[in-house]
């Protein structure tokens, strides 16, 4: 999935907005038909709705079909969620609420586009896109050189048009082939994840450190203020800030993951990470730090690293994180007192001095190498299952999302 941001002119943006509105209004209406007539299958629903949607909302043939499919998919996802018990037991309040009215579609909810409705001029960074006001040509978009290359080589199938906080995005499906696994890494790049520095490598490189934490502290203070205000407008602003913060954090995680995987690949190494599942329990911190720490999505970062490594064919090994911060990377001496401060490590036995996180990441590297040599290697596993059902690529609408029908990024 490649996400590019569109840069429509104000006129183009208004047309896009009108288009999304029309598609989602039509979807809402079709959803009522599903609800009243209990026709959930694509073909049957098409019989009941196709002609009217086309006429009433002035949608093209392809667009109507995508609207109908979107509605069917939303009901299929709801059914799967109900069955999986994600909305509680039958008869519970949430379960009943999900059943008693048609699925609603937010005016700005995502709309799928196929190649006939959306064409790409990748080199020019332009798309030509179908709208209710006719074809809009030359909508500019921004993308990194890597994104452009991925689009050019691997884009395949549908894209989603999405509007978020007044910004326009197209999410394009890309099928990037996985590289063959490097079964003979020369070594491992150890990565220590922490509060003060989000990631430190065994090469001594620090990623997302002090500067990032300053911004995050400032954001948190601001959010606390808004929380106290508790007015509708403060709530709105709070929500917007939260989303923006989450986007920024995701972006940083992507960058860290990309950099780590590229560095490991370039040097023929695998990547060594701590087993992330216990990270919150493991770290004991003073209160203010705890808030910072648990609010960083290390699980997301881990997923990004695993995913990008798998694509590049690099092995990823997870090691037991116990005592990595107390163990001397030079002599192996374990002592709580070795960690003299947040930043520094001084070995009580051999006198070795190092940056604490770097010492930790070197231990992680060593443990991974040990595991690998013993043959207990675990190759880059599939990312851990997400808590929500259907959160993957396939028309990803979870039950709660289905209420507003906006697939996640
Ligand atoms: Zn030592």
- 120-138 residue pLDDT tens: 999 899 999 999 999 999 9
Please tell me the predicted confidence (pLDDT) of residue 276: 66
For the chain, state the CA radius of gyration.
Answer: 25
Chain segment 47-61, per-residue pLDDT in tens: 999 999 999 998 989
pLDDT at 403: 31
Residue 179 maps to a domain: no
Task: Take residue 321 and report the two structure tokens written for it.
Answer: 């994180």
Q: Kindly give the distance from the C-alpha atom of residue 325 to the centroid of ligand 1, in angstroms, as a whole number.
A: 12
Alpha carbon distance, N-terminus to C-terminus of the chain: 9
Distance of CA 202 from the midpoint of ligand 1 (Å): 16
**Is 276 within the bounds of a domain?**
yes
Residue 181 domain-assigned (yes or no): no
What spacing in Å lies between the alpha carbon of 178 and ligand 1's midpoint? 41
Q: Give the residue with greater pLDDT, 99 vs 27.
A: 27
Phi, psi of 324 (to 5 degrees): -60, -25
The pLDDT, as a whole number, for residue 394 is: 33
C-alpha 200/C-alpha 213 separation (Å) is 15
User: Which residue segment(s) compose the domain that 119 sits in?
Assistant: 114-174
CA 335 to ligand 1 center in whole angstroms: 10
Query: What tens digit of pLDDT does each residue of 344-395 get?
Result: 999 999 999 999 999 999 999 999 999 888 874 444 454 444 444 433 333 3
Do 357 and 227 belong together in one domain? yes
Residue 317: beta bridge partners?
272
Quickly count: other Cβ atoms within 10 Å of residue 383's Cβ.
16
Q: What is the 396 CA–ligand 1 centroid distance (Å)?
A: 50
Identify whether residues 118 and 196 lie together within a single domain.
no
Q: Is the pLDDT of residue 211 over 80?
A: no
Percentage above 90 pLDDT, the chain: 48
pLDDT of residue 406: 34
From ligand 1's centre to the CA of 186, what distance in Å? 25
Distance 224 CA to ligand 1 centre (A): 43
DSSP 316-329: EEEE--TTTTTB-T
Ligand 1 center–CA 332 separation, angstroms: 6
Give yes or no: residues 276 and 347 share one domain. Answer: yes
Distance in Å, CA 337 to ligand 1 centroid? 12
DSSP sequence for 250-269: HHHHHHHHHHHHHHHHHTT-
Q: Domain check: are 340 and 394 in the same one? A: yes
Q: What is the pLDDT of residues 162-209, one digit of tens each?
A: 998 889 999 999 988 888 888 889 999 999 988 778 899 999 998 876
Structure letter (DSSP) for residue 334: B
**Does pLDDT of 296 surpass 90?**
no
How many angstroms does the Cα of residue 116 sit away from the middle of ligand 1? 65
For residue 107, how far is its CA from the centre of ligand 1 (angstroms)? 62
Q: How many domains does the chain have?
A: 3
For residue 213, how far is its CA from the centre of ligand 1 (angstroms)? 30
CA distance 136 to 132: 10
Label residue 99 by pLDDT band (50, 70, 90).
Answer: confident
157 and 65 assigned to the same domain: no
Q: Please tell me the distance between residue 353's alpha carbon and the centre of ligand 1 in angstroms.
A: 8
- 105 and 127 together in one domain: no
Percent of the chain with pLDDT over 70: 87
To 10 degrees, what angle do helices 93-100 and 61-83 make? Answer: 160
Residues 142 and 60 in one domain: no
248 and 396 together in one domain: yes
For residue 87, name the pLDDT band (cuts at 50, 70, 90): confident
Taking CA atoms, 179 is separated from 70, 187, 200, 313, 370, in Å, by 33, 19, 26, 5, 25
What single DSSP character describes residue 196?
A: S
Asked if the model's pLDDT at residue 221 lies above 70, the reply is yes
Query: Number of helices and strands (H, E) in the chain?
Result: 12, 14
How many Å lie between the centroid of ligand 1 and the Cα of residue 281? 26
Contacts of 287 (CB under 8 A, 6+ apart): none
Sheet holding 167-174, edge to edge: 111-113, 155-164, 167-174, 2-7, 134-142, 126-131, 118-121
Q: Specify whether 219 is located in the same domain as 366.
A: yes
Q: CA 273 → CA 202, 317, 345, 402, distances in Å?
A: 11, 6, 20, 35
Residues 120 and 48 placed together within one structural domain of the fold: no
**Looking at beta carbons, which pairs linking 211-220 to residues 24 or more positions away fall under 8 Å?**
212/252, 213/292, 216/245, 216/292, 216/295, 217/292, 219/245, 220/291, 220/292, 220/295
Please say which residue of 65, 91, 112 terminates a domain: 112
The pLDDT, as a whole number, for residue 168 is 95
CA of 338 to the centre of ligand 1 (A): 9
Residue 308 near residue 258, CB atoms below 8 Å: yes
Residue 4 belongs to a domain: no
pLDDT at 255: 92
């Amino acid at each position: 999935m490649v996400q590019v941001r569109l840069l429509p002119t104000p006129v183009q943006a208004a047309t896009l907005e009108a288009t999304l509105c029309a598609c989602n209004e039509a979807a809402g209406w079709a959803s009522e038909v599903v609800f009243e007539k209990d026709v959930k299958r694509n073909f049957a629903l098409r019989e009941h709705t196709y002609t009217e949607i086309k006429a009433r909302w002035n949608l093209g043939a392809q667009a109507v079909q995508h609207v109908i499919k979107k509605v069917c998919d939303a009901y299929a996802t709801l059914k799967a969620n109900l069955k999986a018990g994600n909305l509680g037991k039958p008869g519970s309040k949430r379960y009943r609420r999900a059943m008693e009215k048609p699925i609603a579609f937010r005016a700005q909810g995502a709309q799928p586009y196929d190649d006939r409705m959306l064409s790409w001029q990748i080199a020019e960074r332009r798309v030509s896109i179908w709208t209710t006001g006719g074809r809009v040509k030359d909508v500019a978009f921004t993308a990194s050189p890597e994104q452009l290359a991925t689009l050019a080589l691997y884009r395949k199938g549908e894209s989603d048009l999405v509007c978020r906080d007044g910004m326009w995005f197209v999410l394009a499906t890309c099928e990037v082939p996985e590289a063959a696994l490097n079964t003979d890494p020369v070594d491992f790049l150890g990565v220590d994840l922490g509060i003060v520095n989000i990631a430190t490598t065994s090469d001594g490189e620090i990623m997302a450190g002090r500067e990032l934490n300053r911004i995050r502290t400032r954001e948190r203070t601001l959010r606390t203020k808004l929380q106290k205000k508790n007015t509708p407008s403060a709530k709105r602003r709070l929500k917007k800030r939260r989303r923006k913060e989450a986007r920024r954090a995701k972006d940083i995680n992507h960058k860290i993951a990309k950099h780590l995987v590229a560095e490991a690949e370039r040097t023929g190494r695998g990547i060594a990470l701590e087993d992330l599942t216990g990270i919150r329990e493991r770290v004991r911190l003073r209160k203010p730090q705890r808030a910072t720490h648990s609010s960083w999505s290390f699980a997301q970062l881990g997923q990004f690293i695993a995913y990008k490594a798998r694509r590049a064919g690099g092995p990823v090994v997870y090691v037991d994180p116990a005592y990595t911060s107390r163990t001397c990377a030079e002599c192996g001496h374990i002592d709580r007192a070795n960690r003299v401060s947040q930043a520094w490590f001084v070995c009580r036995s051999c006198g070795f001095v190092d940056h604490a996180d770097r010492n930790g990441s070197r231990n992680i590297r060593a443990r991974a190498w040990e595991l690998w040599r013993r043959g207990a290697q675990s190759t880059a596993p599939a990312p851990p299952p997400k808590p929500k059902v259907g959160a993957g690529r396939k028309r990803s609408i979870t039950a709660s999302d289905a209420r507003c029908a906006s697939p996640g990024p």
